[in-house]
Amino acid sequence: MKQNYYFIGIGGIGMSALARYFNLLGAKVYGYDRTPSELTHALESEGMAVHYTDSVDEIPQSVQADNTIVVITPAIPKDNKEYLFFKENGFTILKRAQVLGLICKEKNTVAIAGTHGKTSTTTFTTFLLKNSTKGCSAFLGGISKNFQSNFVFDAKSPFVVVEADEFDRSFHNLFPSTAIVTAMDADHLDIYGTHEAVIESFYKFVSQIRDNGILIYKKGLNFEPVRQVLETKGVKLYTYALQDSSADFYVKSIEVKDGAFLLTLHTPQGDVAGIRFGLIGKTNVENFVAAAAASLLNGLTTDELLSATKNLKGVVRRFDVHVSTDNVVYIDDYAHHPAELKACIQSIREMYAGKKLTGVFQPHLYTRTRDFATEFAESLSLLDELILLDIYPARELPIPEVTSKIIFDKVTCKEKTLCSKTELLDVLRNKEIEVLITLGAGDIDRLVEPITEMLSK
């Protein structure tokens, strides 16, 4: 291990988890991020030095090429001054995914991949294993409400649970013992070009499962092209589903009791009855089935499963309920892909049948908006009312004629409004709200607190 670790983009969810890991091991951790956030303030309070100006002058004198690893996120612009300085001065520069791969190399790695559902599934799997005799460390793609962090450390456990990100083909740096695949939808077409290339990338990821490992995938996904490769390596294949009885793991019965789901889970070893699952949304239940499958196949007992599940709290910004009164409900969710939006809206519609559903959506990336405008419009048309914000650019420069309006014009719900982020609170004040959802992966989360405050009054 090096003496210093320097993170460019330290405030990112994956980057900050790695920063916490090295900080805990006793290395000096430094970092730059474009904007302060709750997460960067948390890193500073944990003893890491974070700054917000892209300047070579901000790099401490103690950070030298022979004692420092520089970790970068693929989202940083190539003209970042600090990045160029490190590149020109002989520093070892590694991508976040490469560092994660090196950490996981010697561990019994459980890697969860998928174009949606992976953060919740990763967090659920982590909580189940951590609350068993197995234990685990974990690198999460969201803030677990149970751990109040995106990083979990267990020095004694051989298990590490990681979110395997398909963006930039990051997950090709992982060689897991157990892999879960939740979905293989078309996404990140700025990287992949075609849906076929996305699927091929997932095939490469699962082909890297270690000998005698485990693949768990959502029923309906097609892994036939790599089945022979996997079986030659002794990899065992299992399917999961919400309630499809042809899957290896599925929910045999589901009822609502005392504000929670009461589940009977079917497994190849028999049924597990009386599971109390307190999170909302059947999408969450389906992700839990995948997590339970991975945990049980890695030695979790049914008693441990029953005990842990009743204390499971979920993830910040995943079906995150902020206001729930007789008059108004407010839920925030990270959904930013058409399939995620559809699943989220349908789950909430099912829970609050007969209520007016108002959604605020902030599109994420110009390329994703351009590539999926029609699909976004179809999903958002499931709302009773839509408030559509401007595109959050993240790592991208504007694309001519690509704005939120190309989605807005195709949306068919009768009530729809186009507005800027700064106008949103005023727009909401003049609405009759019954159930409100804020949706998106950009900086819409900065509005959660003021919206909560406004609706609570």
Which value, to the nearest 10 degrees, does the dihedral of the CA atoms of residues 52, 58, 61, 62 take? 10
Q: Which CATH superfamily is domain 4-98 in?
A: NAD(P)-binding Rossmann-like Domain (3.40.50.720)
Q: Which residues contact 433 (CB under 8 A, 6 or more apart)?
A: 328, 330, 356, 358, 455
Continuous H helices in 60-117: 81-88, 96-104
Per residue in 287-305, pLDDT tens?
999 999 999 999 999 999 9
Helix (H) or strand (E) holding 288: helix 282-297
pTM: 0.86
Per residue in 246-276, pLDDT tens?
999 999 999 988 778 999 999 999 999 999 9
Residue-level pLDDT at 400: 95
Strand 137-144 relative to strand 149-152, pairing: antiparallel
Whether the domain at 105-309 and the domain at 320-456 fall into the same CATH topology: no
Separation between Cα atoms, residue 346 and residue 437, nearest integer Å: 12
Per residue in 2-46, pLDDT tens?
899 999 999 999 999 999 999 999 999 999 999 899 899 999 999
Q: Where are the domains of the chain?
A: 4-98, 105-309, 320-456
Separation between Cα atoms, residue 373 and residue 368, nearest integer Å: 8
Q: Which residues contact 159 (CB under 8 A, 6 or more apart)?
A: 107, 108, 109, 110, 129, 134, 135, 136, 137, 298
Select from 115, 168, 173 the least CA-distant residue to 139.
173
Per residue in 424-438, pLDDT tens?
999 999 999 999 999
Residue-level pLDDT at 257: 82
Region at 397 (left for phi over 0; alpha for psi -120 to 50; beta for the rest) = beta
Q: Which CATH superfamily is domain 320-456 in?
A: Mur ligase, C-terminal domain (3.90.190.20)
Q: Which residues contact 262 (CB under 8 A, 6 or more apart)?
A: 254, 255, 256, 274, 275, 276, 277
Q: Which residues of the chain have pLDDT under 70?
A: none
Q: Which CATH superfamily is domain 105-309 in?
A: Mur-like, catalytic domain (3.40.1190.10)
